[in-house]
Amino acid sequence: MTDRQSNLHDPQTARLMGREDIQQRVAELSTWRHRIPLPHGVVTPGREDCNAELRRIRLPADLTGQRVLDVGCSDGFFSFECEHRGADVLGIDDFSSTPFNAGQNGFAIAKSVLNAKAQWRNESVYNLDPNQHGHFNLILFLNTLYHLRHPLLGLEKIAKVLRPGGILLLKTYYFHDFRFRRWGFNVFKRPIMRFFECDELNDDPSNWWAPNRQCLEAMLRASGFDNLTKLGTHADRVYYRCRRAE
């Protein structure tokens, strides 16, 4: 993480912004999601262990010259990491979709403290349009699919702005039938998606859908992705890498 700090922030800015200035900026946001390392040893007080997630999504080490889109970017940890690895990055997030943090996130604060170039827009995945946003080589879609009321539409919109042959890295909450392990067979081999009308899933009214793996893979194929590779699972999350079909 010290590498990232020295690469990303302009040494002059760091000299101008002392530890206390940075702490003050960080305190402007009441709740951080991501733990982002900033100059002078300051780390944003998020609950998410983003470094562990980086290993799970297997983000390529070198993204030089790549255009990356981070959908549902939140405070921007993954956007800044992609920039650090050489990418030109756009992060989008639809604040109105989450009941938390009163329509704010920490992206702008972290960006200014890091003096980062990553661009950021308060925009929904449903508005992605190749004529407006162009095409990307790599898209991160982390922990956001199950927050969508229209997950298939979201995947289709993502496929439209991903270059043919481009890569999607996806992490989502999924519906896992634990009877599979206990009984040695899976009664839910068919694609199934559970719907949460209110806040039944983790007391969060912004959680709408939990697909099982069969359903997730079927939706990915139906949206124009191929080469689906399951990267792994961790607790109730599943991780995939797939390619935009040529």
Ligand X SMILES: C[S@@+](CC[C@H](N)C(=O)[O-])C[C@H]1O[C@@H](n2cnc3c(N)ncnc32)[C@H](O)[C@@H]1O
**Beta carbon of residue 100, minimum distance to ligand X (angstroms, whole number):** 8
| Alpha-carbon gap, residue 43 to 23, rounded angstroms | 9
Report yes or no: 23 and 100 within 8 Å, Cβ to Cβ.
Answer: no
For 95, residues 6+ apart whose C-beta sits below 8 A from its C-beta are 101, 103, 104, 105, 122
* Dihedral (CA of 56, 100, 136, 145) sign: positive
The residue among 47 and 182 lying less far from ligand X, judged by its C-beta, is 47
**Beta carbon of residue 202, minimum distance to ligand X (angstroms, whole number):** 10
The residue among 106 and 166 lying less far from ligand X, judged by its C-beta, is 106
**Beta carbon of residue 142, minimum distance to ligand X (angstroms, whole number):** 3
Report yes or no: 170 and 142 within 8 Å, Cβ to Cβ.
Answer: yes
Task: Match 């992490």 to its residue by tokens.
Answer: 171
**Beta carbon of residue 126, minimum distance to ligand X (angstroms, whole number):** 6
Q: Which residue ranges make up the site for ligand X (CB under 6 A)?
A: 33, 48, 71-74, 92-95, 97-98, 124-126, 142-144, 147-148
| Alpha-carbon gap, residue 13 to 10, rounded angstroms | 5
The residue among 111 and 147 lying less far from ligand X, judged by its C-beta, is 147
The residue whose Cβ lies closest to ligand X is: 72
Report yes or no: 78 and 149 within 8 Å, Cβ to Cβ.
Answer: no
CA 214 remoteness from chain centre: 22
The residue among 14 and 78 lying less far from ligand X, judged by its C-beta, is 78
**Beta carbon of residue 30, minimum distance to ligand X (angstroms, whole number):** 15
The residue among 21 and 156 lying less far from ligand X, judged by its C-beta, is 156
